[in-house]
Amino acid sequence: MPKRQREQGDDDDDEEIPLTESISRDEELLKLLECPVCLDGPMLPPVRQCENGHLLCSACREKPECLTYPTCRATPLRSRNLALERLAENSGIKVPCPHKVSGCPTVLPYGAVTAHVRNCDFQPIACSWPRCGEVLPMSEECILSHLSERHSFRMSTDCMASFGVVHYFRPLSLQSLVHSERELPGTVYSAHGSTFLLRMVTDSERYHCFVQLVGPQPRTVRFQCRLTYEVGARCHQWTGPPSSVATPIQQVMDMGDCLSVARNILLECSQGEAQARALAIRLEVRLQGELPPFRYGDCASKRHCSLKRVKRAIQEHAIGDQAEYFSVVARLARVGSRSGKLVYRACGGEQEVDGRSAICGAPLCGSSGSGLVGDTTEAAGASGECLVCGSTTKGVPRLMMPCLFTDDEDSLGVQVFHDAAEQLLGLTAEEVEVLQQGSQESFDARLQQQCSSEAWQLTLRTFMLKKQGQSVPAAACIDAFPVACQGHAWQLLKDVKQALATSS
């Protein structure tokens, strides 16, 4: 059929529809798409109707109380109102995702909503607890309420926080693990404004410990977790992003996103000495991009040894071009502060590293007493810009402090990097900066309060430091967390020797 020729006076054909009129039409269409029973809208395809043409959403159509239409008592049919569906699709109106209340921010054309809902990260999930399977909305409040009331999950407040990392510790009885059938009640933790679940499940051969984020899968890439278990003299670690609470447990285990322990190991330890009849689970959570990264402490070449071995490596210059990593258990004997300020300013600018955003962290002004952050390593240009990433953002406070550690064989002075320093002091860099503005005596007294009999597991990094044009061996502590002395035979032996010496 030929198109109608435009005639003089047909100006109305090209007139634009006023914005207010367009909005009014969209509002009227959205009202038509609102289900009169649940008042939820807009109804998504397929839009059902009763014998008299009244509309009904698909969810209400399946409800037992809607065997007849509430208004006219007619029988709801499975026939679709295709005319209304096509009208909505062709109108160009945009609607929010039905899972908006659970956090989905997507707004898209009406015709694309159905396909989006099928793959939405915020769609309801089935509870993964064995023999439960209750469908829950992707809501943190609903999920935590269900887990605490139905499955005895508990909220943990036992944590240690420092810049970029949150530490949790959970001791477990080996007897409860050995006799568990499928899963132990989990623990709920909060870190960096998000909620995490620490869970343990078992199969015929192994126990699996893993971390789940109470949220959709895309959010998990923001975090990096480290799980550590200690039982007897054994220690093992797993590092990686958490899984989503929507991920099935079997999939987590199949992908290896968990820390696994052989059942025979726990059974053997449960029948051993009393001090070995406990399993210590540690969880550390940090944001992706915070420094130092976990790879420092989880390097494959990391060796468990004493301070004497580390000291010998430094004295003999047996370090080489690559940094070496050692894991030692020692006590904090002294914190040095008179040689200079413990706080320096680091670049807080962001840069792209391995496809993700990371904090630069380059030192902008050094601590003269650190020996590691000095004039030779400052990255601030003449106008204050970072020479590494070019950012002009205000520097963030970071800690670098000299400490003396001791064990049963020797003592060693090392520089302690930011995260480990905040752990040892129990203070943030901002708090240390404020304390240093007071008297030196009160500040030193506050630091020495942290020097106690508590044992720390340290990750030491030895490397060749370029200083004033020369390469000299150096060591730094990049990770620290408290440990139980009885888990280490040499430390326990030293305690016994000291007790005998005192009694005699």
Mean pLDDT of 447-454: 71
Helix H or strand E segment including 433: helix 429-435
Mean pLDDT of 247-256: 85
Q: How far apart are CA 69 and CA 36, in angstroms?
A: 10
Q: How far apart are CA 379 and CA 257, in angstroms?
A: 38
Q: How much of the chain, in percent, has pLDDT values that exceed 90?
A: 0
Measure the CA dihedral 243/247/253/256, to 10°.
-40
Provide the residue count of the chain: 504
**pLDDT value at 273 more than 60:** no
* 3-state secondary structure at position 252: helix
**pLDDT value at 155 more than 50:** yes
Helix H or strand E segment including 264: helix 263-270
Measured in whole angstroms, the distance separating CA 436 from the mean position of its chain's CA atoms is 32
Measured in whole angstroms, the distance separating CA 141 from the mean position of its chain's CA atoms is 18
Write the pLDDT tens digit of every residue in 231-244.
655 667 788 889 99
> How many C-beta atoms lie closer than 10 Å to residue 240's C-beta?
19
Q: Across 13-17, 41-45, 339-343, 450-454, which has the greatest mean pLDDT?
A: 41-45
Residues 6+ apart with CB under 8 A from 471: 464, 465
Q: Across 239-243, 321-325, 334-338, 482-486, which has the greatest mean pLDDT?
A: 239-243
* Letter string b/e over residues 338-362, b meaning 16 or more CB atoms within 10 A of that residue's CB: eebbbbbbbbbbebeeeeeebbbbb
Q: Do 278 and 233 meet the contact criterion of CB atoms below 8 Å apart?
A: no
Q: How far apart are CA 31 and CA 28, in angstroms?
A: 5
Per-residue pLDDT band for 485 (boundaries 50, 70, 90) equals very low
Q: How far apart are CA 85 and CA 45, in angstroms?
A: 7
Laid out side by side, the sheet with 278-287 consists of 159-162, 165-173, 278-287, 223-231, 234-240
Whole-number pLDDT of residue 75: 64
> Does the domain spanning 295-343+397-503 belong to CATH 2.40.50.140?
yes
Q: Across 262-271, 332-341, 370-379, 482-491, which has the greatest mean pLDDT?
A: 332-341
Q: Do 132 and 143 meet the contact criterion of CB atoms below 8 Å apart?
A: no
Structural domain boundaries of the chain? 41-81, 125-287, 295-343+397-503
**pLDDT value at 446 more than 50:** yes
Would you state the structure tokens that stand for residue 170, as one six-digit string?
A: 């959970």
Q: How far apart are CA 14 and CA 10, in angstroms?
A: 8
Residues 6+ apart with CB under 8 A from 168: 156, 158, 159, 160, 187, 189, 198, 282, 283, 284, 285
Torsion sign across C-alpha atoms 295, 299, 305, 306: negative
Q: How far is CA 136 from CA 125, 212, 478, in A?
A: 5, 16, 41
End-to-end Cα separation, the chain, in angstroms: 115
Domain 125-287: give its CATH architecture.
Answer: Sandwich (2.60)
pTM: 0.50
Mean pLDDT of 267-280: 56
Write the pLDDT tens digit of every residue in 208-226.
888 899 988 888 878 888 8
Residues 6+ apart with CB under 8 A from 495: 485
Q: What is the CA radius of gyration of the chain?
A: 31
Write the pLDDT tens digit of every residue in 432-441.
888 877 777 7
Torsion sign across C-alpha atoms 24, 29, 33, 36: positive
What backbone phi and psi angles, to 5 degrees, belong to 388?
-90, -50
Q: What is the DSSP string of 133-174?
A: --EE-S-HHHHHHHHHHHH--EE---EEEETTEEEEEEEEEH
**pLDDT value at 104 more than 80:** yes
Per-residue pLDDT band for 453 (boundaries 50, 70, 90) equals low
Q: What is the DSSP string of 434-455?
A: HHTTS-HHHHHHHHHTT-SS-E
Measured in whole angstroms, the distance separating CA 216 from the mean position of its chain's CA atoms is 13
Write the pLDDT tens digit of every residue in 171-209.
666 555 655 556 677 888 887 778 888 888 887 778 888
Give the β-pairing of 470-483 and 411-416: parallel
**pLDDT value at 92 more than 80:** no
Whole-number pLDDT of residue 368: 36
Q: How far apart are CA 161 and CA 351, in angstroms?
A: 25
